[in-house]
Amino acid sequence: MTAVQHSRNSPIISLTFPIVTIRVGSENPVAFNLHRALVCRESARLSKTFQGAFKESAEQECTLSEEDPRIFGYFVEYMYREGWLHDEKSSVHQSELSTLARLYTMGDRLIAKGLQDLALRKIALTLDKTRDLPDQEVCDFLEVAGAEIPDTPNDDALQAQVLWYAASRLQKLQDFNRFHELLRQYPHLAVKLCMLAGTKTNTQPKLPGISDDKRFKPESIYS
């Protein structure tokens, strides 16, 4: 799959920057041919891969077997064009929340802070505007928080949003079998959820400091 150039990036980029190949997925991996400059700018991990003293740097190819090609495709969209992800002031449909959560956790693995920040903004805004998220969607969200975010003493920013929302609907979730299965599967979530419910605080967590996305603001020709 070759990334298509869009108006977000100068046309000269296709002439001056080399292409790298990133194969994504463990079974039947999908190959993405991308501009190295964009990839290295957005991901500190991939920057080290393609510009360090590694085999991948010499070959300009790497494999991300642990990632989902579908989710990685959104990262490609984020790099190349203005889409729904870049409109940070608009919420998304509830069915896209788990996708955004996976984008956030993939951003953590790729050390792609810009991607993480935008995904987190949209998640927080959507949760703030959505009071009737179906139990199934809440559990999908909780599963990402349990399976893909390491258990640490302090809540991850995404995990804090998920737990806050679940705590605000705890009475309703108690009647949903999958909710109890997830708490048994991820006991650290159960502990944090109980602690949060015990505080009887129903205030949405504030987002951590997020820098503005200034990557595509016009640059002076004299700089």
In this prediction, residue 110 carries a pLDDT of 98
Give the CA dihedral 65, 68, 70, 71, nearest 10 degrees: -120
In this prediction, residue 14 carries a pLDDT of 52
DSSP string spanning 88-122? TTS---GGGHHHHHHHHHHHHHHT-HHHHHHHHHH
Q: Which of 57, 66, 60, 86 is nearest to 74 (CA)?
A: 86
Distance CA 5, CA 81 (A): 8
Partners of 33 in the β-ladder: 2, 21
Helix, strand, or coil (residue 35): strand
pTM of the model: 0.81
In this prediction, residue 81 carries a pLDDT of 83
**pLDDT averaged over 10-residue windows placed end to end, the chain, 223 residues:** 43 67 96 96 96 90 97 94 64 77 96 93 88 90 91 82 92 94 95 85 76 42 30
In this prediction, residue 88 carries a pLDDT of 57
End-to-end CA distance of the chain: 35
